[in-house]
């Protein structure tokens, strides 16, 4: 049914609302005092309440998607709002409602249910990831009105544009579980992400992408051409030093002795939970000195955007590689695989030295008794690797 075919204005029946045709542009139909029915060009239909805000400007408040919210329900909500406006409690009630139903409130309540079952590290890591990605995009949104399409676009962006595939999958399951918790905490039974998983890109764990060694010249040139010089330096340091991405992202200036050309990773930052000393090649030292010249003052080599007290977000390096055309071809963690493959091919007799440089944990009896760090040999290996890389450009 076209809206021009409506025989009367107002108090629209659900049969009429269902039959209304979508047009090239969004349009609204008046239903009852201050209540309107919105039909968007993308096909969605919803209810809106029109009111004057605290400074007297007409404003719209969404009341929910149709047909989840029927006409009778929307009119009941609108009448409640009109009564509140008359009594002078409307804005106070809306503030309380915004706090009660904010996604942040939901997620904090859900996180509290995990305190007993998760260890401290898992809890803190999950919370930091939620704060960095979820709160920054949806924190103050009313979780009841975040559509499945908005969640889909968000998770797909994390996968394809930001490039944090593993973390995107974890965040998806956090949100899915949090909406299940919403039924207990808020009596909200709708879960907008319950059917999204099969629509998102499939992720296989431990699938770290890295280019073939013959592509190194183009990769290095691309990295050095990146517009953000500090990020470019970070990517080149990953190539030269092949740390785990989190180790470099969380690295602090106090961990480096540039005179002695050494990076001492503290135990709490390493996967092995042991201090790991990394010899710095001449090229790496030059890059770090340059970084010190251009970077704003912070404890971190790579402070977060707009802050000095927090490290760079874990998606920054992925996003840079994706923007350079290496999305799905080269991951930050893939630099370790690239280095391991190339070093083992070129220096097959130095297996133990390469393993020590990669900070791999030795298994079995050898792991118990062999504590050799091969540090002097690693000085030579790291310089050889830097020279090898720079021979391409």
Taking the alpha carbons at both ends of the chain, their separation in whole angstroms is: 66
My answer on whether 296 and 168 are in the same domain is no
Contact 240, 287 (CB under 8 A): yes
pLDDT per residue over 295-337, tens digit each?
Answer: 989 999 999 888 888 999 878 999 999 999 998 889 999 999 8
Task: Transcribe 300-363 into DSSP letters.
Answer: BSSBPTT-SSSBPPTTHHHHHHIIIIITTT--TTHHHHHHHHHHHHH-GGGHHHHHHHTTPPPP
Residue 177 lies in a domain: yes
Query: How is residue 340 written in tokens?
Result: 């391991």
Residue 326 lies in a domain: yes
My answer on whether 244 and 328 are in the same domain is yes
My answer on whether 260 and 168 are in the same domain is no
Instruction: Tell me the three state secondary structure of residue 393.
Output: coil
My answer on whether 24 and 59 are in the same domain is yes
Dihedral (CA of 202, 204, 210, 214) sign: negative
Question: What CATH number does the domain containing 67 carry?
Answer: 3.30.160.390
Give how far the C-alpha of residue 11 lies from the chain's centroid of Cα atoms, to the nearest Å: 44
Number of domains in the chain: 3
Q: What pTM does this model have?
A: 0.51
Phi, psi of 252 (to 5 degrees): -115, 155
Q: Which domain holds residue 166?
A: 103-199
End residue of a domain, out of 199, 228, 259: 199
My answer on whether 143 and 286 are in the same domain is no
Polymer length of the chain:
393
Residue 261 lies in a domain: yes
My answer on whether 227 and 292 are in the same domain is yes
Question: What CATH number does the domain containing 369 carry?
Answer: 1.10.443.10
Residue 270 lies in a domain: yes
Residue 207 lies in a domain: no
My answer on whether 34 and 117 are in the same domain is no
End residue of a domain, out of 21, 55, 90: 90
My answer on whether 176 and 238 are in the same domain is no
Question: What CATH number does the domain containing 169 carry?
Answer: 1.10.150.130
My answer on whether 20 and 143 are in the same domain is no
Residue 274 lies in a domain: yes
My answer on whether 124 and 195 are in the same domain is yes
End residue of a domain, out of 65, 90, 115: 90
Q: What is the pLDDT along the chain (393 residues), one digit of tens a residue?
A: 888 888 878 899 999 999 999 999 999 999 999 999 999 998 989 999 999 988 889 999 988 889 888 999 999 999 999 999 999 998 888 888 878 999 999 999 999 999 888 888 889 889 988 998 999 889 889 998 898 999 999 999 888 887 777 788 889 999 999 999 999 999 999 899 998 988 888 765 555 788 888 888 999 999 999 999 999 999 999 999 999 999 999 999 999 999 999 999 998 888 888 899 999 999 999 999 999 999 989 999 999 888 888 999 878 999 999 999 998 889 999 999 889 888 887 887 888 899 889 987 654 434 433 344 789 999 999 999 999 999 877
pLDDT per residue over 131-178, tens digit each?
Answer: 989 998 898 899 988 989 999 999 998 888 877 777 888 899 999 999
My answer on whether 242 and 375 are in the same domain is yes
Residue 205 lies in a domain: no
Q: What 8-state DSSP symbol labels residue 47?
A: E
Contact 163, 322 (CB under 8 A): yes
My answer on whether 123 and 39 are in the same domain is no
What distance in Å separates the CA atoms of residue 393 and residue 380, rounded to the nearest whole number?
21
- H/E stretch holding 385 reads helix 375-390
Residue 98 lies in a domain: no
């Amino acid at each position: 049914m076209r809206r021009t075919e409506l025989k009367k204005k107002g108090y629209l029946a659900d049969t009429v609302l269902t039959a209304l045709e979508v047009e090239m542009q969004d349009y609204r139909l008046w239903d009852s005092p201050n209540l309107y029915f919105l039909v968007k060009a993308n096909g969605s239909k919803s209810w809106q309440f029109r009111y004057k805000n605290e400074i007297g400007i007409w404003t719209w408040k969404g009341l929910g998607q149709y047909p989840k919210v029927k006409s009778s329900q929307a009119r009941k909500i609108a009448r409640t709002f009109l009564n509140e406006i008359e009594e002078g409690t409307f804005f106070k009630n809306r503030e309380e409602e915004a706090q009660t139903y904010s996604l942040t409130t939901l997620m904090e309540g859900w996180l509290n249910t995990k305190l007993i079952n998760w260890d401290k590290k898992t809890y803190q890591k999950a919370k930091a990831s939620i704060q960095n990605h979820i709160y920054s995009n949806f924190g103050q949104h009313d979780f009841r009105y975040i559509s499945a399409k908005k969640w889909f676009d968000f998770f797909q962006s994390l996968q394809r544009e930001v490039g944090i595939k593993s973390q995107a999958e974890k965040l998806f399951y956090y949100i899915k579980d949090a909406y299940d918790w919403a039924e207990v905490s808020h009596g909200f039974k709708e879960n907008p992400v319950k059917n999204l998983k099969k629509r998102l890109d499939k992720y296989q764990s431990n699938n770290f992408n890295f280019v073939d060694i013959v592509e190194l010249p183009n990769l290095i040139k691309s990295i050095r051409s990146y517009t953000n010089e500090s990020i470019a330096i970070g990517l080149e340091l990953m190539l030269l030093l092949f740390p785990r991405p989190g180790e470099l992202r969380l690295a602090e200036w106090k961990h480096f002795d540039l005179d002695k050309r050494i990076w001492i990773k503290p135990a709490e930052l390493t996967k092995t939970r042991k201090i790991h000393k990394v010899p710095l090649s001449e090229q790496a030292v030059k890059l770090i000195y340059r970084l010190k010249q251009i970077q704003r003052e912070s404890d971190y080599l790579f402070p977060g955007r707009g802050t000095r007290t927090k490290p760079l977000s874990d998606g920054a390096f992925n996003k840079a590689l994706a923007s350079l055309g290496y999305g799905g071809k080269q991951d930050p963690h893939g630099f370790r695989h690239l280095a391991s493959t190339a070093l083992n091919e070129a220096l097959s007799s130095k297996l133990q030295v390469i393993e020590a440089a990669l900070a791999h944990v030795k298994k079995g009896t050898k792991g118990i008794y062999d504590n050799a760090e091969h540090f002097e040999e690693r000085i030579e290996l790291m310089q050889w690797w830097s020279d090898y890389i720079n021979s391409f450009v």
